[in-house]
Amino acid sequence: MQIGSLPRSICVFVLFSINLLNYIDRWTVAGVLTDMQQSVSKGGFGISDAEAGLLTSVFILTYMFFSPIFGYFGDRVNRNQLIFFGVTAWSSAVFLGSFATTFHQLLFCRGLVGIGEASYANVAPTLIADMYPIEERTRILSFYFVAVPLGSALGFILGGQASLFFGWRWAFRITPGFSFFLALLLCLFMREPMRGLSDGRILVDYNEHISPPISSDDQEQSQSETS
CATH code, 108: 1.20.1250.20
pLDDT (mean) for 89-105:
96
Domain hosting residue 130, numbered range:
2-226
Contact yes or no for 170/162 (Cβ under 8 A): yes
Burial class from Cβ neighbours inside 10 Å (0-12, 13-18, 19+) for residue 225 reads exposed
d(CA 23, CA 31): 13
Alpha carbon 60 to its chain's center? 14
Instruction: Supply the pLDDT for residue 191.
Output: 86
- SS3 state at 7: strand
Measure the N-to-C terminal CA separation of the chain; round to a whole number of Å: 55
Pick the more confident residue, 117 or 1.
Answer: 117
CB within 8 Å of 22: residues ≥ 6 apart: 90, 117, 120, 121, 147, 151, 179
DSSP, res 167 = -
Q: Express each pLDDT in 147-189 by its tens digit.
A: 999 999 999 999 999 999 999 999 999 999 999 999 999 888 8
Neighbours of 173 (CB within 10 A): 15
Angle between helices 103-131 and 134-145 (to 10 degrees): 160
Number of domains in the chain: 1
Contact yes or no for 45/37 (Cβ under 8 A): yes
pLDDT at 46 > cutoff 50: yes
d(CA 109, CA 100): 9
Alpha helices, DSSP H, located in 75-102: 79-97
pLDDT at 204 > cutoff 90: no
Handedness of CA 165, 49, 100, 21 (dihedral sign): positive
Q: Give the H/E segment covering residue 20.
A: helix 8-31
Instruction: Supply the pLDDT for residue 219.
Output: 54
